[in-house]
Amino acid sequence: METYLFYILAVVTVIGTILAITEKHPVHAIVYLVTSFFSLATIFYLLAAPLVAMFEVIIYAGAVMVLFMFVIMMLDLGRSDEARRPELKQWILPIILAGIILTSIGTIATGYAAAPHASGSLTIRDFAETLFRKYGVAVELVSMQLLFAVVGALYLGRKAKS
Amino acid sequence: MIVPLAHVLVLAAVLFGLGLVCTLVWRSNVIMLLIGIEIMLNAAMLVFVGGSNHWGVADGQVFALIIMAMTSAEVSLALALVVYLHRRKNTVNVDEFRELKD
């Protein structure tokens, strides 16, 4: 049952992403992308990562996409008469490049003999112990990184004095 | 493990390829370019979570969380830059931002 659910959600994710990148209107693209992120969050839940799934919904679909939407509305980029997608000949070369990457990864992944994996399921307790015991320094570094990002955004966003 | 690791890797590769296409194609709108970067980072997170599930250790999930924190910092800075550039040039077309060259 869960296996079928994974494939259905994978198809939904890929279709949502394709619709998002071919949509000429930025607001519609973001709504499609939120759909894709919701199904990706469910895939994370199926892969035994409930906490990452929750953060995907809260941070990605909630905060980051709303920030994009806010900037689009603040700069007034959402006008449908000005929106246009790049012409067809610009799409060909990137699609060829992505196809090369895709076929090479697919060939390697399908020919890969999976190493025997450890038994026992991951719990949130394992996750928390790994995060705060083994990678405690990384948590501190990430908090400093967020502080620097806030300072930089404030510096860039302030009004010019002149 | 509900599905083989290879299928998770193929799904992540498809998502990464779509993000790459989005980044390379949308030069006329810097917002769509940033969205392409978001899609690629999500594919990387999917690889980390799938590997964490496959080998039964939580390190991959920790790295997915750190990628998420990095993304929120990156997006806030990048959108502040977009607002700044739009205030200067009144456009979001990437081809217009070439003052360093001229």
Give me the CATH number covering residue B90. 1.10.287.3510
Same domain, A12 and A66: yes
Domains contained in chain B, number: 1
Give me the percent of chain A exceeding a pLDDT of 70: 91
Q: Look at residue B10 and tell me if it is in a domain.
A: yes
pLDDT at B48: 93
**Considering A44, A61, A79, which residue would you say is the last residue of a domain?**
A79
Instruction: Outline where B1-102 has alpha helix (H).
Output: 5-25, 30-55, 59-89
Q: Look at residue B101 and tell me if it is in a domain.
A: no
Q: Distance of CA B77 to CAs A21, A89, A156, B74, B89, Å?
A: 22, 32, 8, 5, 18
Query: In this complex, do B34 and A68 lie within 8 Å of one another by their Cβ atoms?
Result: yes
Q: Look at residue A86 and tell me if it is in a domain.
A: no
Contacts of A30 in chain B (CB under 8 A): 35
Same domain, A3 and A75: yes
pTM of the model: 0.90
ipTM of the modeled complex? 0.89
Query: In this complex, do A114 and B52 lie within 8 Å of one another by their Cβ atoms?
Result: no
Q: Distance of CA B6 to CAs A73, A115, B2, B51, B59, Å?
A: 41, 12, 12, 10, 19
pLDDT at B101 over 70: no
CB-nearest to B58 from A99, A127, A153 is A127
Structure tokens at A97: 């490049």
Structure tokens at A90: 């610009």
Q: Chain B, 51-70: which have a CB under 8 Å from a chain A CB?
A: 52-59, 61-62, 64-66, 68-70
What is the pLDDT averaged over residues B69-84?
91
Q: Look at residue A114 and tell me if it is in a domain.
A: no
Give me the percent of chain B exceeding a pLDDT of 70: 96
Residue of A21, A42, A141 best to disrupt the B interface, most CBs of B under 10 A:
A21
Query: In this complex, do A138 and B50 lie within 8 Å of one another by their Cβ atoms?
Result: no
Domains contained in chain A, number: 2
**What gap in Å lies between CA A82 and CA A78, rounded to an integer?**
8
Backbone angles phi, psi at A135, to 5 degrees: -115, 35
Q: With residue A149 as reference, give the H or E element that holds it.
A: helix A136-157
Neighbours of A63 (CB within 10 A): 13
Q: Look at residue A94 and tell me if it is in a domain.
A: no
Q: Look at residue B73 and tell me if it is in a domain.
A: yes
Structure tokens at A109: 């992944």
Same domain, A72 and A8: yes
- A101 Cβ neighbours under 8 A, 6+ residues apart: B13, B16, B17, B20
**What gap in Å lies between CA B62 and CA A31, rounded to an integer?**
28
User: pLDDT tens digits, residue range B3-53?
Assistant: 888 889 899 999 999 999 999 988 888 888 999 999 999 999 999 999 888
What is the pLDDT averaged over residues B71-91?
88
Contact A45, A106 (CB under 8 A): no
Where in the sequence is the domain holding A52, given as residue range(s)?
1-79
The DSSP call for residue A36 is: H
**Considering A79, A107, A139, which residue would you say is the last residue of a domain?**
A79
Same domain, A75 and A129: no
pLDDT at B37: 93
Contact B93, B82 (CB under 8 A): no
Where in the sequence is the domain holding B75, given as residue range(s)?
5-94
Residue A80 touches chain B, beta carbons under 8 Å: no
Contact B64, B48 (CB under 8 A): yes
**Residues in chain A where the model's pLDDT stays below 50:** none
Structure tokens at A153: 């955004």
- A147 Cβ neighbours under 8 A, 6+ residues apart: none
Nearest 10 degrees: Cα torsion A28, A32, A35, A39: -170
Give me the CATH number covering residue A65. 1.20.120.1200
Q: Chain A, 122-161: which have a CB under 8 Å from a chain B CB?
A: 122, 126-127, 129-131, 134-135, 138, 142, 145-146, 148-150, 152-153, 156-157
User: pLDDT tens digits, residue range A58-90?
Assistant: 998 889 999 999 998 888 877 777 777 777 888
**Considering A79, A112, A134, which residue would you say is the last residue of a domain?**
A79
For tokens 């409930």, what's the residue? A50
CB-nearest to A117 from B29, B55, B59 is B55
Contact A138, B66 (CB under 8 A): yes
